[in-house]
């Protein structure tokens, strides 16, 4: 008698839930096939848009997981399971994690924007927060730069997107500028000749681009001048360092004297 009761229960269970389970399994198989097709199309689309290789697998995986979670919720509802409580728990958990990691999530979001919009690329010289360095790596959470002394600067991506960035692209033409204060009696002809002679020795000079010398202020004892050389973005820092050495040597040859040290502090 008990055996018959168990068999009756199994038959009733199969009769009630069998069609639902069969449709759920079918829905699951079809859903996985559609998701695979969608993620492949999404990956092909990002390849055609030249999305960064370090970002593309992450986005594909993210879309794949998101679609599969949605599919599992639909399948659970098809079987008859209550999904409202699952959604509520998942939402509360996501809110808690997001609140705890809001700084990291901000850097994460900034990293995605940087990899998508490409305001700078690996190899560019970038000045951010008064620090100059060559971009060595662009990661999801941070950007790694190397300055002219070989020191690695690890900058959170949130810092890279919250302010102004000076970007000296590798093959672009940029102006390397320095400010000096010279004696008021300095001849502009001698100053320009010394600048041209120093710039001609620059190993990273751009042919056809002449240096500039501009007076920005003048007083009884001295005058402020700005000197600019044209160079490539990748040699910006090296050109700046070389300018001081070459200009000092040419100033000595042309008898150009620097102003008093106290006024120089006002630069």
Quick: pLDDT tens for 204-249.
888 878 888 888 888 877 888 888 888 877 788 888 888 888 888 8
Four-way CATH pick for 120-168: 2.40.30.20, 2.60.120.1310, 1.10.10.10, 2.30.30.60 = 2.30.30.60
User: For residue 195, with 0-12 CB atoms within 10 Å meaning exposed, 13-18 middle and 19 or more buried, which class applies?
Assistant: buried
**C-alpha angle 120-122-127 in degrees, rounded to nearest 5:** 50
pLDDT (average), residues 177-199: 85
CATH topology of domain 2-100: Helix Hairpins (1.10.287)
Q: What is the mean pLDDT of the chain?
A: 77
Q: Where are the domains positioned within the chain? A: 2-100, 120-168, 173-264
d(CA 165, CA 152): 18
- Confidence category of residue 265, pLDDT binned at 50, 70, 90: very low
CA distances from 57 to 64, 92, 198, 256 (A): 10, 28, 50, 60
Tokens for 171? 């093959």
Write down the pLDDT at residue 166.
78
pLDDT at 30 over 70: yes
Give the residue with greater pLDDT, 251 vs 85. Answer: 251
Over the stretch 65-112, which tens digit does the pLDDT of each residue have? 888 888 887 877 777 666 666 666 666 666 665 555 456 677 777 777
C-alpha distances out from residue 100 to 3, 5, 89, Å? 55, 54, 17
User: Cα Rg for the chain, rounded, in angstroms?
Assistant: 33
Is 189 exposed, middle or buried (CB count within 10 Å of its CB: 0-12, 13-18, 19+)? Answer: exposed
Strand, helix or coil at 143?
strand
Q: Which fold has domain 173-264?
A: Alpha-Beta Plaits (3.30.70)
Say which residue, 59 or 154, is predicted with more confidence: 154
- Quickly state the pLDDT bin for 263 (edges 50, 70, 90): very low
Higher pLDDT, 94 or 162: 162
Q: Confirm if 53 and 138 have CB atoms less than 8 A apart.
A: no
Across 10-14, 189-193, 247-251, least confident range: 10-14
């Amino acid at each position: 008698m008990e055996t018959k009761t168990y068999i009756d229960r199994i038959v009733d269970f199969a009769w009630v839930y069998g069609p639902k389970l069969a449709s759920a399994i079918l829905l699951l198989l079809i859903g996985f096939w559609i998701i695979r097709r969608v993620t492949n199309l999404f990956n092909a689309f990002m390849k055609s848009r030249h999305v960064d290789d370090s970002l593309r697998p992450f986005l594909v995986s993210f879309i794949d997981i998101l679609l599969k979670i949605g599919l599992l919720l639909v399948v659970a509802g098809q079987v008859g399971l209550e999904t409202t409580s699952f959604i509520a728990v998942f939402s509360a958990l996501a809110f808690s994690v997001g609140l705890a990691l809001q700084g990291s999530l901000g850097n994460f979001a900034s990293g995605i924007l940087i990899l998508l919009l490409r305001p700078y690329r690996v190899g560019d010289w970038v000045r951010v927060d008064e620090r100059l360095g060559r971009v060595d790596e662009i990661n999801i959470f941070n950007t790694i730069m190397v300055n002219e002394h070989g020191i690695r600067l690890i900058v959170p991506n949130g810092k890279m997107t919250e302010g102004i960035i000076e970007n000296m692209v590798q093959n672009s033409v940029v102006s390397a500028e320095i400010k000096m204060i010279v004696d008021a009696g300095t001849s502009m002809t001698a100053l320009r000749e010394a600048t041209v002679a120093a710039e001609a020795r620059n190993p990273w000079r751009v042919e056809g681009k002449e240096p500039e010398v501009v007076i920005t202020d003048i007083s009884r004892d001295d005058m402020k001048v700005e000197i600019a050389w044209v160079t490539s973005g990748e040699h910006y820092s090296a050109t700046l360092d070389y300018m001081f050495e070459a200009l000092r040597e040419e100033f000595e040859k042309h008898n150009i004297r620097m102003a008093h040290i106290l006024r120089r502090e006002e630069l």
